Chain A
């Protein structure tokens, strides 16, 4: 299957700082990328959908000014958690789909801890 690489895999940051997470499709062009958040022992909750070259579509309840998503190229999307607080600590996972293909390939996830 296709490969999606997500970095970093773990990050610890101080309250009030910003953290950027990268999601790259290594061997295909991802016209659509998705960002999820997963709390321990819970399901994947979609935060936003990003299409290359256009603004992300955020799910209800997700603050777009806090979770900045950029999808500047067909192989890269970034999620920036701005002014992070301890309640933002979570597992963030991206997934990517190629145009016309419904299978979603997931990155390995980023464990964010805000102290």
Chain B
């Protein structure tokens, strides 16, 4: 199993640009989570999906952030326009139906907004 795949692994962009982060969950998993990790705020849940449907997006910081899951094998997190304070590591995680809410994390995307 390839595990959760995230792309790109590193992204450097300038303030005001649109950023799209991508995630491919583990096949067969029905839950998908987007997290943001910073030194100051730790690990924050941004949004999670179950069976491709957004369940809770209360962690999305602003309207500049949006997430989609068009099918069971792909999700995106978009920031438009990006700001320097969005610089962080963004993790995608997926989880199977029958594993007691266990989550499998991807390697993360390190985003730097200049």
Q: Decide whether A and B assemble into one complex.
A: no
